[in-house]
Structure 1
Amino acid sequence: MARKCDICGKGVVTGMKVSHSHIRTKRTWAPNLQRVKAIVNGSPKRIMVCTRCLRSGKVQRAV
């Protein structure tokens, strides 16, 4: 499963976790993805969509 939104392309971002003593270790931030049934090219299909795309109405959900 790719951790990327099929609508906007938002994916995992990497960076550094910094402790109080400033010890730096690598970490990742993953987008909040939901597996939804949506209308794609006129037919229903299961896609991975971030919650921002769902909330903004960029996805027409299938029933």
Structure 2
Amino acid sequence: MAAKCDLCGKGPQFGNNVSHANNKTRRRWNVNLQPVKAKVDGGSKRMSVCTSCIKTGKIVKVA
């Protein structure tokens, strides 16, 4: 499963760990994804959605 939000498509970001000795190694910042049951086309569907989409109300949770 890809680390991507099913709504907005937000994915991981990449960069470097930089040590005190200025050594650089690759790292990634993953998206905070949560499994959610959402209302889609009148039915419920399981999706992995980022927390920013949940907070802004882009998704309607199934009660």
TM-score band w.r.t. shorter chain: over 0.9
TM-score (norm 2): 0.94
- Report the CA distance between 1:10 and its aligned residue: 0.6
Task: Report how many residues are paired.
Answer: 63
In 1, the alpha carbon distance for the partners of 2:5 and 2:42 equals: 19
> In the alignment, what sits opposite 1:2?
2
Identity of aligned residues (%): 51
Task: Give the AA of the match of 1:53.
Answer: C
What are structure 2's unaligned runs of at least 5 residues? none
Counterpart of 1:21, as a letter, is: A
Residue in structure 2 matched with residue 23 of structure 1 by the alignment:
23
Identify unmatched segments of 5+ residues in structure 1: none
The 4+ residue runs of structure 1 with deviation greater than 6 A are: none
TM-score norm. by structure 1 comes to 0.94
Matched residue, 1:55: 55
Report the RMSD for the aligned CA atoms in angstroms.
0.7
Per-residue deviation, 1:43? 1.0
Q: CA deviation at 1:42?
A: 1.7
